[in-house]
Amino acid sequence: MAVAKTTTSRTRSTASATTKARTTKPAPVKASVDATAVVDLDRVRKPFYAYVGVADLAVEKLREIPSFYSHGFSTAQAQVNQARGSVKSLPDSVREQLETIPTQLQALPKKARGTYADLVKRGHKLVTSVRNNPNTKAALKQAKTARTQAKGAATSVRRAAGSAEKVAESTAAKVG
């Protein structure tokens, strides 16, 4: 048989847990284990913030669609005329773009890190604004109150059921 004791602590940016375990009964092998794990919460939260940032960016882009299409239809004819003129210079343009592809590929990881960092900032900003919103705080307070009331109601029902059971048993004893 083994006994384990775990202690946990949390600060604003880290969480840690320490576990001490040992065998209690004589066994073929006696063992004792001490383990500590520390988690950097800021690092753990980054993917969540990036996810929220992507969702916020998607909503922003979706809101821009109506204005984009209304503006796009008005300039479509001008773009068609410009495209007809650029067909002659297309082979030279393709050659120039082929020469820049290796440089663009080397810049992609840095660009991806920058985009990820921007999404994390955007998500953190949104989460912070929602968290500090008075309506959110009021909703959380109402939810806590409702949970407390539900717990109280469950306790009352449990006690009433216990009382009803005792009354039924005493009545059955008197009758029986």
Q: Confirm whether pTM is higher than 0.75.
A: no
What are residue 83's phi and psi, to 5 degrees?
-65, -40
pLDDT score recorded for residue 59: 93
Strands lying side by side in the sheet with 2-10:
2-10, 14-23, 32-40
- In the prediction, which pLDDT does 19 show? 82
Cα separation, 39 vs 50, whole angstroms: 19
Residue 26 has pLDDT above 80, yes or no: no
pLDDT of residue 27: 62
Domain boundaries, the chain: 2-40
pLDDT per residue over 147-163, tens digit each?
999 999 999 998 988 88
Query: 36-57, pLDDT tens digit by residue?
Result: 888 888 888 899 999 999 999 9
Distance CA 164, CA 173 (A): 14
- The average pLDDT across 114-118 equals 95
**Interior angle at CA 136, CA 134 and CA 139, nearest 5:** 110
Q: Chain-wide mean pLDDT for the chain?
A: 85
Angle of helix 90-131 relative to helix 41-86, nearest 10 degrees, comes to: 150
Count the Cβ atoms, other than its own, within 10 Å of residue 65: 10
Confidence label for 116 from pLDDT (cuts 50, 70 and 90): very high
- Beta strands 14-23 and 2-10 are antiparallel
* CB-CB contact of 126 with 60 (8 Å): no
Neighbours of 136 (CB within 10 A): 12
Please list the alpha-helical segments (H only) found in 1-133. Answer: 41-86, 90-131
